[in-house]
A and B are shown apart, each in its own frame.
Chain A
Amino acid sequence: MTQSVVISSLRWVMLMALQIVVLNNIYLGGVFNPWVYVLIILSLPIEFSPLAVLLTGFFTGFTLDLFTHTIGMHTMSLTLLAFLRPKILALITPRDGFDFGSSVNVRDLGWRKYAVYALLLIFSHHLVLFSLEAFSSGLFWLAVQKTFLNTLLTFVLILIIQSFTAIKEKA
């Protein structure tokens, strides 16, 4: 348990740094704007209680809001993601539960299950985020368009990040 908290904290710092320092400066074509920091919540250990996940989501979103000067937007969207995570995780749990010591990543869950899990959560997060960014019914379709494109982009980037960390853990 202590070990998993330490790993989660390290992941928190590194992903936040990646998001704030690198990815926030990428805004390709006014549309592509990936939010890879959601991986922080996606990768939290399975044994974390729903309450702990929810609070982590709230404070992570608020912290990012402070850096992006969009107080409330990431707080609301990441809180929703953190609230939904235990419910989506329950959907893909095998009948006899996860193996002891398994983590929430592509390697331990398998491609198909992880894709369902990650895409659903990223989509819900992005939909709320881009809707709040638009905040008017006239811009709704632009928000939906951005949601779909960036869900895919964030997902691909998360897979790339996981391919690196998997190698590290094996070594």
Chain B
Amino acid sequence: MRKLIQVILTHYVFGLFLILELIGFLMLVRFNTYHQISYLSWLNEVTGGWNTRVSNLTQHFDLVGDNAVLAEENAQLREKLAISYLNVSNQFNPWIDTIYHQSFLYREAQVINNQLNQQDNFLMINKGSISGIKTGMGVINSNGIVGVVTDVSEHYAVVMSVLNSKFRLGVRLRNQEYFGLLNWNGKDLNHGTLVNIQRFVTVRKSDSVETLGASGIFPVGLHVGKVDSILALEESNTWEIQIALSANLQQTKHVYVMENIFKEEIIELEEATK
């Protein structure tokens, strides 16, 4: 103990030097915008690399469940293949489709960090700007919507989860014209809140809720969840509807990032009308 004190006393100038340099560095990355951005994006790369390692280690434990989910999805996709359709018409069908044009591209990615214990939850995925990921792209998994990309570095991207108090998405009740706004109450990891649906609309339990596709982030009619409970708000004459989210974000490993080919066109048009 005496030796320890002696060591501290003889090297206290060096210790103080390190502390002062640390203070200097913290001030540098706190008060200078350029340094702050460089530092944060570097930190993003480092923590991303670390999260990849942890994820590589733990993903083996989830392989069985993941396989089941992927197999099920494969089956669904096979159903949609041209080979699964029987041509019942007698007329000749041309192969070149002039009516439908592909609008959304999908990129597979894996979740390497998934925070769910906060008011504002984010996920990190292992694809970044090199793979063509841009901010504002929608993220889904095989069951439902996961979130929207908010931040991109070279190899990683940060996704604002549906379970984030700042998340807003236009959704509608399936087979009805009326749409509302989906957000999160900050508590229940399995439920979102749908507001702004007028009281004259008939809402039943386990009605399907799907995306509106208004902002071009998600396609029209993507399954979001089912109505779980309905509450009448007297003061605004609207329903407050709890929705059981279908995505199950707690066990999400594989996700798809969606790129809308027509996004720029939508944005251009929106800005032209402003």
Contact = CB atoms under 8 A, between A and B. Distances in A.
Interface string B2-27: 00000000001110110011011111
A51 B16 contact: yes
A58 B19 CA distance: 11
Contact of A135 (B13, B30, B38): B38
A46 B98 CA distance: 86
B17 A83 contact: yes
A43 B35 CA distance: 32
A83 B31 contact: no
A72 B35 contact: yes
- Is chain A's interface secondary structure helix, strand, loop, or mixed overall? helix
B34 interface: yes
Contact of B38 (A73, A75, A136): A136
Contacts of A51: 12-13, 16
Contacts of B34: 135
Contacts of A79: 17, 20-21, 24
Contacts of A71: 27-28, 30-32
B32 A70 contact: yes
A50 interface: yes
A149 interface: no
Nearest to B29: A72
Interface of B: 12-14, 16-17, 20-21, 23-32, 34-35, 38-39
Interface of A: 50-51, 54, 58, 61-62, 65, 70-73, 75-76, 79-80, 83, 132, 135-136
23 contacts: A50-B13, A51-B12, A54-B16, A54-B20, A58-B24, A62-B24, A70-B32, A71-B31, A72-B24, A73-B32, A75-B20, A75-B24, A75-B27, A75-B28, A76-B21, A76-B24, A79-B24, A80-B17, A80-B21, A83-B14, A83-B17, A135-B35, A136-B38
Q: Which 10 A-B pairs have the closest CB atoms?
A: A72-B28, A76-B24, A75-B24, A72-B27, A71-B31, A83-B17, A50-B13, A58-B20, A71-B27, A79-B20
